[in-house]
Chains A and B, each alone.
Chain A
Amino acid sequence: MDNLNEQLKAQIIAALNMEGLSPADINDDALLFGDGLGLDSIDALELIVMLEQQYKIKIANPEEGQKIFKSINSLADFIRSKQA
């Protein structure tokens, strides 16, 4: 089990008030937006704030967001790349 992935799932559930969901309900490769977890544009902004707060990472180019926030795996990869 990847600790960062599990940590991200718990943080997203808490930050976005996703009542009734547990980390186990979120697949590492599932889409976070659209047909996947169903997040919306306000959630995207909240995730950007979460990244800044929890990981001190700023997304300089909003165009990057789509790729970064595609799934838990892509988000975790992005964080690791910034922390390396």
Chain B
Amino acid sequence: MQTIATIRIANSALYLNGQQMFAHEAENAEVFFKALYQYLKLEYPKFFKMDSLSKLGFLAVDALVQHTAEIKSYADDEIAVVFGNYASSLDTDQKYWNGVAAAEPVASPALFVYTLPNIVQGEIAIRHKWYGENMFLVLDRNNKTAVNNSAALLLETGKAKACVAGWVDYLNGAYEAEVALVRKPEE
């Protein structure tokens, strides 16, 4: 499997292939995500309605698309998206639970729709009009090998020509995303 480009978002910074592209010291993750949204010159109002996990994955993939010309050469059903993380959608699950368990319960529909981790892939698919395979793995901490193995399997079996694969994890303000465009090596 050949890696074409990698985007990493961690510690209030964005990295492309290991090189820092943007940094913004912010008091919390949401403020940093908004600054990154502005840096990437995005105009997508739906972004602000997403939960934090979806914002993180959305930003990482948008940065990857902006900096990787090759990604646009694939048909909309040739790109797979495989993500993994440790915390699943627990951050949003907790927020939703806090609402329904409150003295005056509130069951927010806008929060409820994000109580699955693979919703981030739906947001990305809608944004980029990708209709290929997708998979979200909830794994042991830092088990990124399983994500790479799954991406490799999709490429080897011809289910996809390219894959956006990586780690997208968010819990209680702590975040890490590392996504890459990968494909089979040229023969």
Contacts and interface: CB of A to CB of B under 8 A. Distances in A.
A51 B49 CA distance: 19
Given A18-B45, A19-B48, A20-B45, A46 B106 contact: no
Interface of A: 16-20, 38, 42-43, 45-46, 49, 53
B98 to A, nearest CB: 15
Contacts, number: 28
B107 A49 contact: yes
A19 B35 CA distance: 13
Contact of A17 (B49, B107, B109, B113): B49
B101 to A, nearest CB: 16
A46 B109 CA distance: 6
Given A38-B45, A42-B110, A53-B106, 12 more contacts: A16-B110, A17-B110, A19-B34, A19-B47, A20-B45, A42-B109, A42-B113, A46-B110, A49-B106, A49-B108, A49-B109, A53-B104
Nearest to A43: B110
A45 B113 CA distance: 11
Contacts of B47: 19
A84 B91 CA distance: 41
A19 B37 CA distance: 12
